[in-house]
Structure 1
Amino acid sequence: MKKIIKEYILITIGLALVAVGFYFFLVPNNLAVGGVSGLAMIINLYVPALSIGAIMIVLNLILFVIGFIFIGSSFGVKTIYSSLGLSGMIWILEKTCPMSGSITNDLFLELIFGILIGAVGLGMVFNQNASTGGTDIIAKILYKYFHLDIGKALLLSDFLVTILAGIAFGPKIGMYALLGVIINGFTIDAVIAGMNICKKVEVVSSRGEEIKRYIIEELGRGATLYTAKGAYTNEEKEVITTVLGKKEFIKLKIYIKEIDKKAFIITYNVHEILGEGFKDINE
């Protein structure tokens, strides 16, 4: 239950960031940077009677069916929550903070801020195996079946929308929108990688038994043991290898420092760990 609550809290924070980036920076400048939201902006230009939110709901319903078929029901539930949550947040912003125009009148500056804020939010949502709906669902399908990075998959699925934006709002806006899609894709991948970073740790110490016990009993992690021979001394020593979260690594480093100041520690940044105690290999 705690895990589920944490997932939905992170999704909600991510949605808030996406809504802020989209509403305050992209919409006032007609920057349709892909997605159902961008497509809704284009349709709204030609059919002003239909609100952006209403168009998004209709388009998302169609893609929800596709998502349930190809990705599964758990993803669909989170995506429905995310899509409705994002639409609701944008609707609230429209009612409480009506925008009469651009904040700075600097198209490039607002593109960068809108994309970066929204991409961080999308990265948080994607990292919880959810989506804000729309072309995000297509990106998830490409990720699942073709192992394409989510950011790059999103870039492909949004390319058509940027072409339509160029036709609807002019080539200048279209080129800015395409630039925004590219930045968005790479930023999402960077955010997801950063959130999933773990530490692979190798330890050589004369207090190996105590360190192993601390890793297993206090940190609740496993470890693998190797026997290695030093090139200079020709002495055989035991190498303890484990994978830890960032907070767990800090605890281990403090513990080793307290009991063996001569310990030898090597660390590696690992961007994805699948299996028991980490991310489900089926996700």
Structure 2
Amino acid sequence: MKNKIKDFILLFIGSVLVAVGTYFFLAPNKIAAGGISGAAIIINNLIPKLPIGGLMMSMEVVLFLLGIIIIGPFFGGKTIFCSFSISGLILIFEELFPKVQPINNDILVQLIFGVLICGVGMGIVFNQNASTGGTDIIAKIINKYFNISIGNSLLAADIIVTVAATSVFGLNVGIYSILGVIINCTLIDKVINTLNTYKQVAIISSEGEEIKRYIMDVLERSATIYYAKGAYNNNESEVITTILSRKQFQQLKQFIADIDDRAFITINEVNEVLGEGFTFS
């Protein structure tokens, strides 16, 4: 239950970032950087009476059903939560901050800020085995069946929207939209890789028993024990190996420093861990 609450908190944080980046940075400059939000910006420009948030909600239905059927109901449920959170937040922004204007005349700066904010938010959402809806669902399907990274899958799905943006808003804005899609897709892969980076730690210490208890009781992780013989003195030593998050590693490093400043520790970065105690999503 605690993990589920944490998941939905992260999903909401990601949704807030996507809504803020879209409404305050991309939409005022008519930058359709892919996705349903980009399509909504294009339609809103053609028919201003149709609100961006409402358009996004209405275009999600078919893709929701597609995601639920192909990827599964759990993915679909979390995606619905994210999508309606984003659309709802944008509708609220439209009521609280109507007719938002570009912050300044530098479209490139606003593009970068908008895409960075959206990209981080989308990376957080994808990392929770969900999507923000729209073309993200198509990207997730491509990722599942063709083993292409989420970022590259999204690039393939969003290129149609950027071409439409070029025809509606002109070549200048279209180029910015294409640049935004490329930055966004690259950033999403980077965020996902960063969030999934773990530390593989190997420890040789005279306080091995205390370290093992700390790993299991405090960090709530397991460990594997190997035995190695040193080449210098032929003494056999116990090698404790474990895989930890970056935060857990910092805790363990401080604990070892406090009890044995002569401990020998090697650390490797691991980009993905599957199996008991870790996710398969």
Normalised to the residue count of structure 1, the TM-score between the two structures is: 0.94
Code of the residue aligned with 1:50 in structure 2: it is L
Write the distance in 2 (CA, Å) between the matches of 1:248 and 1:56: 40
Write the distance in 2 (CA, Å) between the matches of 1:47 and 1:99: 15
Paired residue for 2:76?
76
What whole-Å deviation, never above 9, does each CA across 1:220-257 have from its counterpart, x for those lacking one?
21111222233333433222110112232222222222
Answering whether residue 179 of structure 2 is matched by residue 179 of structure 1, we say: yes
Paired residue for 2:60?
60
Where structure 2 has 5 or more consecutive residues not aligned to the other structure, the ranges are none
Code of the residue aligned with 1:26 in structure 2: it is L
Where structure 1 has 5 or more consecutive residues not aligned to the other structure, the ranges are none
Paired residue for 1:24?
24
Code of the residue aligned with 1:133 in structure 2: it is G
Write the distance in 1 (CA, Å) between the matches of 2:218 and 2:51: 55
Percentage of identical aligned residues: 54
Paired residue for 1:266?
266
Write the distance in 2 (CA, Å) between the matches of 1:231 and 1:185: 48
Answering whether residue 193 of structure 2 is matched by residue 193 of structure 1, we say: yes
Normalised to the residue count of structure 2, the TM-score between the two structures is: 0.94
Segment drifting more, 23-32 vs 232-241: 232-241
Paired residue for 2:219?
219
SS state at 1:240 partner: strand
Paired residue for 2:148?
148
Paired residue for 1:110?
110
SS state at 1:98 partner: coil
Write the distance in 1 (CA, Å) between the matches of 2:82 and 2:213: 42
Q: CA-atom RMSD, angstroms?
A: 1.6
Deviation at 1:100, TM superposition (A): 4.5
What whole-Å deviation, never above 9, does each CA across 1:251-278 have from its counterpart, x for those lacking one?
2222222222111001122222112212
Would you say the 8 A contact 1:24–1:99 is kept in 2?
no
Aligned pairs, number:
281
Write the distance in 1 (CA, Å) between the matches of 2:219 and 2:95: 48
Paired residue for 2:2?
2
Write the distance in 2 (CA, Å) between the matches of 1:223 and 1:197: 18
Segment drifting more, 205-214 vs 27-36: 205-214
Answering whether residue 193 of structure 2 is matched by residue 203 of structure 1, we say: no
SS state at 1:278 partner: coil
SS state at 1:116 partner: helix
Write the distance in 2 (CA, Å) between the matches of 1:232 and 1:221: 32
Write the distance in 2 (CA, Å) between the matches of 1:99 and 1:46: 16
Write the distance in 2 (CA, Å) between the matches of 1:2 and 1:222: 20
Write the distance in 2 (CA, Å) between the matches of 1:233 and 1:157: 60
